[in-house]
Amino acid sequence: MTTATEDVSPPPGQSPPDGPSWRAAGSMLEAFGRFPGWKRLGAAVGVYLVCLGLFAAVVGTQKANPIGVYDSIVHSALFSPGSLPEVLLRAVPIVLAALAVSVPARAGLVNVGGEGQLIIGAVAATGVGVDLGRSVPGPLGWLLMALAGTAAGALWGGIAGLLRVAVSANEAVTTLLMNFIANDVMLYLLYQPWKDPTGGGQPESRPLVATEVLPRLFGSSINLGVIVALVVALGVYLLVKRTGWGFALRVVGGNQEAARRAGLPVKRLMVSSMAVGGGLAGLGGMLYLAGTQIQLLPGGTATYGYVAFLAAFLGRHDPLKVVLAALAFSAVAVGAPGLQLNYGLDGNVIDVLLALIVAAPLALSAYRKRAF
């Protein structure tokens, strides 16, 4: 996907189009020269081995056999009945919430609000879905729920974008705060107006009717949401890499001042990138609701939004790489229960592994940036 562009080197003698990117390209070459492929690979392998070793040490302190633990994760995630569809299903909200980080990142904005945007998307989709019931045919119901979820997420992200351009309120913090607000909004609705009157008093919305539930594919437990997530990821890839809007975002992210002087509507681009990002996560919330959860439940998003932030980082904000990272995280989560069942390990131990998987490229950052 990037092979066409990666060996483009600046023609000698030609004046650089703009400072930073010229320097960056130069530094890239320098970095390549200084760290030939095998060395970079060696560094990556080494750091990952260290991180996997650290996790082994942690489980070792709990008297679990590290080899067995890794075997258990892989076995549970990839080779046990029903695990692969589960990995795909779980990846859906993570992929979309990660794309929600990646799009604003193009414009230099940090969206830590994937969690809240997922929640508010699921909330809006529930409102529409429960209200519609059987009054519309399935596909129209899905579409309306998806629109509602996307719009709500876009609003949640867009507000943070607006606050950023209007009063310079840092979006990393506002999106973070809005996660908590979204969660409280959901709790309020679930414990009061939306509580399922037939649900035994438990905090859950009325379930979606059967026609509103996303259909399963190929007789497996995989549902339409998986396909939608992949298509959307591809769409986002094209959007940010092949459209003028995507290009403009890159310019804004690279140098706001230059973008402004070039006549780009910087503020509008920033807000729209946050809204698009939020909308993606909102759609993720809707797909998760209509595909997997069927009814709105408290705590259902399970920190997927934060995991997604790390997936976006691991995928370096490239939509397709982000999908792979999200799948990897999803697999780790699906592989986790085996550790409890077979080794009596604490369930949260998997967070350590997840952290170390991301810590490895973080520790390698210097190799990438040394030439700066």
Partner 1 sequence: MNGFEQALTTGVEGGTIILFPALGELIGERAGIVNLGTEGCMLAGALAAYAAGAATGSAWLGVVAGLFGGAAVGFLHSWLVVKQRADQLASGLVLWFLAIGLTSVLGTAYVSKTVTALPIVTVPGLGSIPWIGPILFRHDPLVYASYVLVPLVWWALYRTRAGLVLRATGERPEVVSVAGRRPDLVQIAAVTFGAGLAGIGGAQLSVGYVDSWFDDMTNGYGFIAVAVVLFAAWRPILVLLGSYVFGVALAAAAVLQAHGVAVNQYLLDTLPYLVSLVALVVFARGGRSRAPEGLARALTNTS
Partner 2 sequence: MQHKLRSARGSARLRISIGAASLAVAALGVAGLGSGAASATSSRATSHASAEPWAGAKTVGFIMVGEESDEGYNQAVYAASLRVKKDLGVTTLLAANVPETQQVTTVMQQMVNEGAKIIFATSYGYQSYAYAFAKSHPKVLVLHQGGTYTGGKFPANVGTYFGEAYDPVSLGGMAAGAITKTNKLGFVYAFPIPQTVDNVDAFELGALSVNPKAKTYTVATSAWCDPLKQKSAAAALLSQGADVLTQHQDCQSTVIEAAKAAHAFVVGYHYAAETLDPSGWLTGSVWDWAPLYENIIKTAQAGKFTGSQYNGNFIGTFKSGDNPLTLAPFGSSVTKSTQAKILAAEAKLKSGTSIFKGPIYCNSGKVLVPAGKTATPAQINQFTCFVKGVVAS
User: Binding to partner 1 (CB under 8 A): which residues in 31-60?
Assistant: 58
Q: Kindly tell me which of 112 and 239 has the beta carbon lying closer to partner 1.
A: 112
Q: CA–CA separation, 329 vs 205, rounded Å?
A: 29
Sole window of 13-21, 96-104, 146-154, 224-232 interacting with partner 2 (rule: CB under 8 A): 13-21
* Sign for the pseudo-dihedral over CA of 322, 324, 329, 330: positive
Work out how close the CB of 59 gets to partner 2 at its nearest, in angstroms, rounded to a whole number: 13
- 61 φ/ψ angles, rounded to the nearest 5 degrees: -65, -20
Q: Are 158 and 175 in contact (CB under 8 A)?
A: no
Sole window of 78-86, 206-214, 260-268, 340-348 interacting with partner 1 (rule: CB under 8 A): 340-348
Question: Is residue 347 at the binding interface for partner 2, with CB under 8 A as the rule?
Answer: yes
Distances (CA, A) of 180 to 2, 153, 187: 38, 14, 11
Sole window of 9-17, 90-98, 130-138, 310-318 interacting with partner 1 (rule: CB under 8 A): 310-318
Question: Is residue 152 at the binding interface for partner 1, with CB under 8 A as the rule?
Answer: no
Which positions ≥6 away from 66 have C-beta within 8 Å?
55, 56, 57, 59, 60
80: its two tokens: 């046990």
Question: Is residue 110 at the binding interface for partner 1, with CB under 8 A as the rule?
Answer: yes
Work out how close the CB of 210 gets to partner 2 at its nearest, in angstroms, rounded to a whole number: 12
Block residue for tokens 């260290």: 50
Distances (CA, A) of 260 to 17, 89, 256, 265: 16, 42, 6, 7
β-strand partners of 368: none
Question: Is residue 351 at the binding interface for partner 2, with CB under 8 A as the rule?
Answer: no
Of residues 155-194, which lie at the interface with partner 2 (CB under 8 A)? 184, 187, 191
Question: Is residue 172 at the binding interface for partner 1, with CB under 8 A as the rule?
Answer: yes
Q: Kindly tell me which of 253 and 279 has the beta carbon lying closer to partner 1.
A: 253
Question: Is residue 245 at the binding interface for partner 2, with CB under 8 A as the rule?
Answer: no
* Sign for the pseudo-dihedral over CA of 259, 265, 270, 273: negative
Task: Rule CB under 8 A: choose which of 101, 176, 186, 294 binds partner 2.
Answer: 294
DSSP strands (E only) in 78-131: none
Q: Are 153 and 289 in contact (CB under 8 A)?
A: no
Q: CA–CA separation, 221 vs 238, rounded Å?
A: 29
- 201 φ/ψ angles, rounded to the nearest 5 degrees: 80, 0
Q: Are 43 and 367 in contact (CB under 8 A)?
A: yes
Q: Are 286 and 121 in contact (CB under 8 A)?
A: yes
Of residues 176-235, which lie at the interface with partner 1 (CB under 8 A)? 176-178, 180-181, 184-185, 187-188, 191-192
Q: Kindly tell me which of 227 and 355 has the beta carbon lying closer to partner 1.
A: 355
Task: Rule CB under 8 A: choose which of 170, 202, 220, 243 binds partner 1.
Answer: 170
Question: Is residue 156 at the binding interface for partner 1, with CB under 8 A as the rule?
Answer: no
Work out how close the CB of 177 gets to partner 1 at its nearest, in angstroms, rounded to a whole number: 5
The 20-49 contact track toward partner 2, x by CB under 8 A, reads -xx-xx--x--xx-------xx--xx-xxx
Q: Kindly tell me which of 112 and 281 has the beta carbon lying closer to partner 1.
A: 112
Question: Is residue 5 at the binding interface for partner 1, with CB under 8 A as the rule?
Answer: no
CA contacts within 13 A on the Cβ side of 27:
13
**Interface residues with partner 1 (CB under 8 A)?**
58, 61-62, 104-105, 108-110, 112, 163, 167-170, 172-174, 176-178, 180-181, 184-185, 187-188, 191-192, 253-254, 306, 309-310, 313, 316-317, 345-356, 358-359, 362-366, 368-369
